[in-house]
C-alpha cells in the first residue's frame, strides 16, 4: 500500500511552495511524523513530516516549485519498516528494558498567538537523554508577551535539538522523543535499599514531589528544598500555591553545614566600595528590548500632550463609590472613566484606532483596549474586548480579573493579543510626564500620569485643582496632527465633564 504525500494548505494567500532541503534520501525507511524535507513559501519555511511509516520514494527534487496539492513523495508502507535498521538503532540507544517502538516524535514550536512569530528557549527542565513521560514539562519557552511551559508530546527518551537561548520560529524544531512503550529500568543498585526504593517509585511518576518551574523558583528564593514540601497538584506535583504557603523547617539551620557564603553575600556592601555585578538578561527581556527598538526605528512616532482637570471625576467617585461597590461588588476607579472616554474618541477619530498592514490601513469598528499592568516578570498588556459596549462596572470587573491573572502569571496569550489601542498609567509610580512607546502593531497609546494639585486660572480666579498630564504617542505615518490633537482634546473634554459619557455628547 502506498501513501501519496502532497503539498498542504499553508496559508490563505499562498498558492505555491518550493522544495528546500531533503533530510531523507530516496529509498530510506522513514517513520510516522519524521521530518522528510523543508518547504519554502514567500512568507516562511516549514518542515514537512511523514504521514506514514515505510519506504520513501521522492517525486519532487530540491528547488522544484509545486502548487498547493502537488505530489511531493510517496511512502510505500511495508511490514518490514517497523523492524528496519533505524528502528533497531533507536532500540539499542534506549536504556535497559525500555522497549522502543521505533517511532521518533518531533516536537516543534507551537502556535502561541496571532502576532507571535518566534520564541526563545529559556531553559531545559529535562536533560538530553532523560526518560520523559507524556505531558511531562520538559522546557520553558519565552515569547515577547509571556513565558509558558512545554509538555512532552510522547513517552520516551528526550533528545535535545535546540539549545537554551536559541531563538526559534513558530514551527521550528525543539527536540525529538524516541518513543518507548515502557520506562527504563535502573542498570544497577547503588545500595541494599535500592530494591525497595525502586518498588516504591514504580507506583509514582515524575510529577510526584516535583516542583513546577514557578514553584521551583519560589522555593529556591525561600531556601526550602522540594523534598520538604507536599505537592497538591496532579500526581503530587508541587504547585505555585504550595510553594507560596511552604514554610522553612525549623531544623533546617541545624542540618548539614552549608558552604561558606561568598563575600558579597555574607555582609552588606561597605560604603565607598566599587563592586560590580553582572546578570544575564532574560530571554523575555531581550525580546521585549528588540521589539521596542524596532517600534522606534520602524514608526514615525510623535507625542502630543494635554492636561486634565480631575476634580469632576474625583467628586463623582466620592459621591457614588460606596453605592457603586455595594451594588456591583467592585470599586470605581479612574481607569473605567479613561476607557469609556477613549472608546468614544476612537469612534470619532477612527485613524487612531487603525493600524498599518503592508500597504494597507486596517480600520477597526470595535475598541479592544489594551491595559498595561505591572506583573512579577515585567509589564504585560491584557486586552479588554469590545470595551465600547461595556458599562463602568463591566470594565472595572474585567480590569480586576485581568490584573489578578497578571500578578499570578496566569494570563493566556489570547488575553494579551489583538488590542487596537493601549492605555498605560505611569502615575501609579509617581510619574509626572512621559512619552510612552507604541504597542505594535497598534498606532497609538495614551499615557496617564500622577494627579497633582496645582494653582490654575479659572474664569479670572486662581484655584487649586487636581491636575493630570496626559500624553498621546502616535504613528505619524497613519495619524496626522489634526487627528491626534483632536482625539486628545476630545478625551480631555469627556473627562472634565463625565456626564457627557452618560448621554454620548
Catalytic residues: 476, 480
Convert 437-456 to b/e letters by CB count within 10 Å (16 or more is b).
Answer: bbbbebbbbbbbbbbeeeee
The DSSP line for 210-267 is PBPHHHHHHHHHHT--GGGS---SGGGPBPHHHHHH----TTGGGSSPPPPPPHHHHS
Q: Where are the alpha helices (DSSP H) in 36-175?
A: 85-93
d(CA 46, CA 20): 10
d(CA 283, CA 117): 15
Q: Where are the alpha helices (DSSP H) in 81-227?
A: 85-93, 194-202, 213-222
Return the H-helix or E-strand segment holding 292.
helix 283-298
CA-based nearest residue to 453, from 470, 436, 466, 439: 466
The x, y and z cell numbers of residue 190, run together, are 547503588
**Spatial contact of 220 and 132, defined as CB atoms under 8 Å apart:** no
Classified as helix, coil or strand, 36 is strand
The DSSP line for 390-438 is --HHHHHHHHHHHHHHHHTT---SGGGS--SEEEEEGGGGT-----PPP
Q: Give the 3-state DSSP-derived string for 185-224, with helices as H, strands as E and coil as C.
A: CCCCCCCCCHHHHHHHHHCCCCCCCCECHHHHHHHHHHCC
**Spatial contact of 49 and 56, defined as CB atoms under 8 Å apart:** no
The x, y and z cell numbers of residue 161, run together, are 535539538
Q: Provide the sign of the torsion angle of the four alpha carbons 110, 116, 117, 122, taken in this order.
A: negative
d(CA 172, CA 198): 38
Q: Cell 480590569 belongs to which residue? A: 399
Q: Which residues make Cβ contacts (< 8 Å) with residue 477, sequence separation at least 6?
A: 299, 300, 356
The torsion region of residue 454 among left (phi > 0), alpha (psi -120 to 50) and beta comes to beta
d(CA 59, CA 2): 13
d(CA 292, CA 294): 5
Q: For residue 388, how far is the Cα from the chain centroid?
A: 26
d(CA 347, CA 491): 12
**List of E strands, 143-196:** 147-151, 156-160, 167-169, 173-180
Amino acid at each position: 500500500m502506498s501513501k501519496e504525500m502532497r503539498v498542504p494548505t499553508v496559508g490563505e494567500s499562498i498558492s505555491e511552495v518550493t522544495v528546500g532541503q531533503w533530510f531523507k534520501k530516496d529509498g530510506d525507511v522513514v517513520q510516522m511524523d519524521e521530518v522528510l524535507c523543508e518547504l519554502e513559501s514567500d512568507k516562511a519555511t516549514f518542515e514537512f513530516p511523514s504521514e506514514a511509516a515505510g519506504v520513501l520514494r521522492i517525486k519532487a527534487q530540491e528547488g522544484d516549485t509545486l502548487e498547493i496539492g502537488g505530489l511531493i513523495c510517496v511512502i510505500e508502507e511495508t511490514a518490514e519498516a517497523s523492524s528496519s535498521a533505524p528502528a533497531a538503532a533507536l532500540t539499542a540507544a534506549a536504556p535497559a528494558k525500555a522497549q522502543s517502538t521505533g517511532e521518533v516524535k518531533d516536537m516543534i514550536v507551537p502556535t502561541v498567538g496571532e502576532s507571535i512569530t518566534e520564541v526563545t528557549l529559556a531553559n531545559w527542565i529535562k536533560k538530553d537523554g532523560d526518560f520523559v513521560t507524556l505531558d511531562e514539562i520538559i522546557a520553558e519557552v519565552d515569547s515577547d508577551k509571556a513565558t509558558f511551559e512545554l509538555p512532552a508530546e510522547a513517552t520516551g527518551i528526550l533528545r535535545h535539538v535546540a539549545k537554551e537561548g536559541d531563538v526559534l520560529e513558530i514551527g521550528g524544531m525543539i527536540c525529538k522523543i524516541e518513543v518507548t512503550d515502557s520506562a527504563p529500568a535502573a542498570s544497577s543498585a547503588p545500595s541494599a535499599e535500592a530494591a525497595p526504593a525502586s518498588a516504591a517509585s514504580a507506583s509514582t511518576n515524575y510529577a510526584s514531589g516535583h516542583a513546577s518551574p514557578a514553584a521551583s523558583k519560589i522555593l529556591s528564593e525561600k531556601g526550602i528544598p522540594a523534598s520538604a514540601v507536599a505537592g497538591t497538584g496532579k500526581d503530587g506535583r508541587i504547585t505555585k500555591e504550595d510553594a507560596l504557603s511552604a514554610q522553612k523547617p525549623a531544623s533546617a539551620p541545624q542540618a548539614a553545614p552549608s558552604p561558606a557564603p561568598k563575600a558579597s553575600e555574607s555582609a552588606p556592601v561597605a560604603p565607598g566600595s566599587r563592586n560590580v555585578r553582572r546578570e544575564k538578561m532574560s530571554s523575555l527581556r531581550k525580546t521585549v528590548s528588540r521589539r521596542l527598538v524596532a517600534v522606534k526605528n520602524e514608526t514615525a512616532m510623535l507625542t502630543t500632550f494635554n492636561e486634565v482637570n480631575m476634580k469632576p471625576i474625583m467628586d463623582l467617585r466620592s459621591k457614588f463609590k460606596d453605592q457603586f461597590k455595594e451594588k456591583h461588588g467592585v470599586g470605581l476607579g479612574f481607569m473605567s472613566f479613561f476607557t469609556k472616554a477613549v472608546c468614544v474618541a476612537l469612534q470619532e477619530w477612527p485613524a487612531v484606532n487603525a493600524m498599518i498592514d503592508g500597504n494597507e490601513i486596517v480600520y477597526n469598528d470595535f475598541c479592544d483596549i489594551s491595559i498595561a499592568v505591572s506583573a512579577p516578570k515585567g509589564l504585560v498588556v491584557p486586552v479588554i474586548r469590545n470595551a465600547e459596549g461595556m458599562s463602568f462596572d463591566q470594565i472595572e470587573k474585567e480590569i480586576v480579573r485581568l490584573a489578578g491573572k497578571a500578578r499570578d502569571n496566569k494570563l493566556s496569550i489570547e488575553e494579551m493579543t489583538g488590542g487596537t489601542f493601549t492605555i498605560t498609567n505611569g502615575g501609579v509610580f509617581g510619574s509626572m510626564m512621559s512619552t510612552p512607546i507604541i504597542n505594535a502593531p497598534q498606532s497609538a497609546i495614551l499615557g496617564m500620569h500622577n494627579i497633582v494639585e496645582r494653582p490654575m486660572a479659572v474664569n479670572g480666579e486662581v484655584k487649586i485643582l487636581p491636575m493630570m498630564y496626559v500624553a498621546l504617542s502616535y504613528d505619524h505615518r497613519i495619524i496626522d496632527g489634526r487627528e491626534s490633537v483632536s482625539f486628545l482634546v476630545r478625551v480631555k473634554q469627556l473627562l472634565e465633564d463625565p456626564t457627557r459619557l452618560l448621554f454620548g455628547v
